[in-house]
Structure 1
């Protein structure tokens, strides 16, 4: 075990536990994915598999436990592609549709694992899930509906199956969003502001994933240059950019412009730490 030791803010003393982890990028695209329907740009027409991006999500295998952060509209396709046959819990960053819409498909795990699926999110996320998947909470339940158990989280660390998650507060325009640090890995998507206090929670991570939507300014997402600036503050061993739109450009070309420690993530990319 090791903890933050610098500074006087309580966030700097949060305990960080080192784990063996396998990280799989299930999706690395923005809310419309790439290619975008009806678009004929060179990125959407690209034959490079790295330019095919499903909606953003990541799978973590931590000491044999299986977690997914966000279940977007492509959740079923992603889990089949990666042959993820067991899932211990789902953790949500925020309530937007491109991060929650696939939750119904946890039904398959309910059936084979014979238990409810634990769901973790801030109160606003859980309320949105209650509304969007209202049939799962009906007094009289239709056979075969998803069986889920909601767990409210705040900005304090929490554990799932003995694995410690440290929430990182970021802003997505005016919407609070959680990133998560698990051991030496930090994952942040849908952000355009991270305070210095929260950056201290991330420092020391070996791998950091951060969103970068496009090159041009955006009201609620980091641009490429803004993401690079944040990552230069954090200085992880390696960083990966996710939540990429077709406006970012071709994967192969953008990669050549990046600092040595920063790469573009792509769907199906596997990392170990």
Structure 2
């Protein structure tokens, strides 16, 4: 399984729009892995997780052919994870795209936002409302939506994904996982866990995670036998408000066996 990290920042990006903080200044100066766009991941070039406003840039930067995408999985409706207006660009009159639907999966609010933009009387997208803990067989994988601790005004989801004999957890946006999610994970075996660390050393256990919460989550997964012996753990979704550069996150996480994701990074599991 090829896991391609297209973007690794929180909503503001790094450097952030309009920001003059020292972190953004240094990120702009140093460049490289310190430049972070809004979070998204592509699996085997056929399954995409979230559709942020930087998708167009990801396509150009990484030479992506978005027409290879068969499944689009949405975690929640926040604007850094879903820009439905750009889905409209696949419709006739805008793109010469394939005559098949991309299947879009999510809970009711993000799916509703997509339908509000592109409608249902078209052949380019097929929409599916998922329910927590109910398995779904997509065109490319089997996924199970899991509850996140994030925005209390909507059902925000994490995803367990099984594809070609490999399993992974897409574990953000969320604070410490809800008990129902932890209970569901207890008898699973993961090849890869993708966690988040939005706030760095700023204490945070709800809605998002800080370093301590991320490490505790990895320890829980390992302690409960959820991680296979050779499993990989990666961390993503960083905010400039954490006031940490890439090297700072590496120093905090690599001693604990956690890979710090950066834009364009590819993992193979």
1:182: which partner in 2?
A: 161
TM-score for the superposition, normalised by structure 1: 0.80
Answering whether residue 236 of structure 2 is matched by residue 253 of structure 1, we say: no
- Higher deviation after alignment, 161-170 or 71-80: 161-170
Equivalent residues in 2 for 1:115-194, closer than 5 Å: 115-131=100-116, 133=117, 136-137=118-119, 147-155=124-132, 156-174=134-152, 175-183=154-162, 184-194=167-177
2:238: which partner in 1?
A: 244
CA distance in 2, matches of 1:97, 1:173: 13
TM-score for the superposition, normalised by structure 2: 0.81
Unaligned runs of 5+ in 1: 1-20
Aligned residues: 242
Q: Per-residue CA shift, 1:231-269, capped at 9, x if unaligned?
A: 110123321111101133011122112243112111101
RMSD between aligned residues: 2.3
**Cα 1:201–1:82, aligned 2, differ >3 Å: closer, same or farther?**
farther
Q: Per-residue CA shift, 1:107-159, capped at 9, x if unaligned?
A: 3496332223221111222122233x1xx2287x8xxxx93221111121111
Runs of 4+ with deviation above 6 angstroms? none
How far off is 1:228 after superposition? 1.2
Secondary structure of 2:149's counterpart equals strand
Contact 1:25–1:57 under 8 Å retained in 2:
yes
How far off is 1:173 after superposition? 4.2
Unaligned runs of 5+ in 2: none
- Higher deviation after alignment, 161-170 or 262-271: 161-170
CA distance in 2, matches of 1:137, 1:108: 13
Query: Out of 216, 223, 228, which is 2:215 matched to?
Result: 228
